[in-house]
Each structure stands twice: as structure tokens, then as C-alpha cells.
Amino acid sequence: MAKTAKKRRGAQAAAKQPLDLPVRLGQIVEIEITGLSHEGAGVGRVEGYTLFVAGALPGERVRARVEHLKKNFGFAGLAEVVEQSASRALPPCPLYDRCGGCSLQHLAYEEQLVHKQQIVKDNLRRIGGFDVEGDKAITVHPTLGMSDPWRYRNKAQVPIGEQDGALVGGFYAEKSHEIIDMNECLIQHPAGDEAVNAVKAIASELCIRPYDEASHSGLLRHVVVKVGARTGEVMVVLVTTEENIPQRDKLMEAIRTRLPGVKSIVQNINPARTNVIFGEKTVTLWGSDVIYDTIGPIRFAISARSFYQVNPAQTEVLYNKTLEYAGATGMETVIDAYCGIGTISLFLAQKSRHVYGVEIVPEAIADANRNAELNGIENVTFETGPAEVVIPAWKEQGIRADVIVVDPPRKGCDEALLATILQMKPERVVYVSCNPSTLARDLKVLAELYEVKEVQPVDMFPHTGHVECVVRIYRRE
């Protein structure tokens, strides 16, 4: 029986091993790292076969353990750095090798900025078919980074669970739902850490049951903290599986006592068996429904579920570049597709004749109107609906855009919206992107009528693989 079981395990292992590859699962290989993937893994080759090695850097020779194989590429874990890159940095976070929140702390920050510029160039060339080198190339500027790339996040979303009978809260380990318990995150605003730690301690003291994902039991699923970086105001959001919170009054009193700066305590109820953080119902348990923050001269009201950029310092850099690329002189009509709570629209309104914003989420449009009123800005109009439906309707009403600004989610622009832009033929388009690959895809479509003038990468998320861009696009005469 033992021999039969051993043969069976051997057959299963062989089945997992693709045929005719120069490496095998579990093998330790020594390879030279020649590049960095978009996710921040080192790229090397063994007899032409590509291996992605997490934690390795270009210019290094490493020993790596092969962990996962596919036909054309595989993944390996870093076992030892044999020859070290001069760009290698010592990650200051003690949980860096376990937490999946950051992937580039081991790379010197100046080199992170170079890497992100290269990511943009690679996608424009590979997906969009654009020239990024030479006389006729698109100008891709060096990435605009931060003077202090730490403690920049104004929002913490921390899953809560139980380990060894104790309540824990932290971020997930990479590619898993294992919670890494932590008291401090070096990219979070200190007030966010303070609030999360206070709620964890209070919930434990009051015996509030943490959520168990496997059994779908327990009450407290997430603690979400929003911080007004310039106002100092703090909102605490408790995401629970049901509306009733045992000892709710004691919980509110304890949070207010330990966090004297808190302005809002909100509950969101999410009873679903899902990875989505928020449910449909949100109630304010104490204080204000919103907190406030400013970006440049514009003041914003931030509710529990409204989208607001998590790095306000770099957001101001991003929006000022958007305003510059829009070329607004005070005479232009501007359409802001995917306008959200009106952040870009209100920036553009400072130097435009009129700005029209469209967004499919009704709650975001309500926030946008509130933010316009909050700032006394009257030359804006917001409407709910799909951009590809609302914008043609505006055209039928005689609204002609001189500039269209798009700031889509990671999946990029809807095909119908791109077709609408080509039909409306505004003089200028400004594309704000959080995903270089979908950006390159969409620019290839717009290139039918437009010329991509320049691209400015902005580092909104230091120490991660993410990069945002602003693109200046002109209609060909």
C-alpha cells in the first residue's frame, strides 16, 4: 500500500510538471536577473525559459526555488542573493516579507520612479504600437515622485479575523486571505494606525466577535478609517455582518475616549458571503455623516463610501498636471467623464467657462453637487448615467466640448465612450490613467484622429507596482 501511495504522489507531481522545460518544481536555480516585471518581480531566464523571482532586482545574480510552472514562464521564490544590486534597499517594515501590501520596498525609491517610467514606455510600445524612443517618439517624462514617500495613505481598509482565539487585524499576506496582524503600516497615515489599533483593542475588550470567512460567522468584518490629511479629521467605519452591535453605546464611548479627534463613526452592514468590503446599507452611529479635506484650493466632503484619492499630496500634483494639459484659458467648455465626486471637475472649473461632469454612480453625483456648493462653484453641471449615453445627449442639446477629460477605472474606457469622443472631435483630450496597459489600448483607438503629445507618470502609490499617468492628446488638424 505504501509503495502504491508513493507511486500515486509521484504521478501527481509529474502531472503538475509541464513537459520539456529546463527547470522542475522545487529545483534551486542560479540565474541572472535582467529586468523587473510590472508587479515588481525580478525577471531572469534559464535556457530561454522565463522565471519571475519575487524580491530579486535587475543586475543581481540569485539562487531561487522554482515554485510554479507554466508552458512559457514560471515563478520562483528568492533563496539567496549571490551578487547584489547597488539599487537594493533594506525594507524598513518588519512585516515586508509577509505582507502583500507593498512589493518594492527593497528597491531604492529613485529606482522605483525609473521603473515606473519604463512600465509606461513598455506598454505604449507593446500594446499601443507607439514610438517611445527617437525623434518622432511620444515624450514620456520622468515619474513625478514624493520628497517623503511614507505615511501617505489617508485611508486604511483592515480586515478583522481571529487567530489562536484572539482578535487580529491587518493586511492579507500576498496571494492569500491570511491576515497578518499588525499595529503599524509605514505607508498609512499615523492617525489611521491609531484608530485601527483602538478599535481592535476595544472590540476585543467588549468581546465583539470577529468575522470568520470560512464559516461566515462573527460580526466585525473590516475597520475602515478615513483621515483628512490637511484637516486632521478622522472617520471610523465599522463593517459588520448585521445591524445589531452588542454593547454599542459602550463601543461608541470607548472609541470617542481613545480617539478624541474622531469626527464620525459609521456602520456599514454587509451580510453577504463576498470579498467585497462594503454592503448596501450605511448608517451614522455618531457625529457627522462626512469629514472634510482639501486638495489645493478646493474643499471636499468625504462620506463613508465616496471615492477620494488616497494620496492627497500627489493628487494635487496629478490634478495640476491635468489642468495644464487641458489648456484651459477660461473660455473652454469641458466634459469630465467618470467624474466621481467631482474632484477633477472642480479643479477644471477654476479655469474653464463651464464643466460638465458625468458619473454612473448616483451617490457620487450627489457628493459632486455637494462639493460644488461647498466651494461656491457654479460653472459646473453634474449628471448621472453612463458617459457614452449622457455625452451624446448633451451633444444633441447643443453642448460642444473643447476638451474632454477621462479618468476611468483600471479596466479603461468603455468602447462606446471612445467612439463618442471620436464622433464629438474635441480639440483636446486629457486621459488620466491608473493602468498603463488599458491606457495604451485606448490611446491606440484615439490615434485614429488624435496625436498623443506627452505622458506624465505620477507616483501615487510609492513602494507598490502601481503608477498613474496624465496624457496630453491633440486632435490632428
- Show binding-site residues for S-adenosyl-L-methionine: 309, 338, 359, 407
Smallest Cα–Cα separation from 193: which of 74, 95, 281? Answer: 95
Distances 30 to 48, 107, 277 between C-alpha atoms, Å = 14, 21, 41
Report the C-alpha gap between 46 and 476 in whole angstroms.
Answer: 47
Q: Give yes or no for a contact between 436 and 408, defined as CB atoms under 8 angstroms apart.
A: no
Q: Is 469 a catalytic residue?
A: no
Residue 330, Ramachandran bin (φ over 0: left; ψ between -120 and 50: alpha; else beta): left
Residues tagged active-site: 434
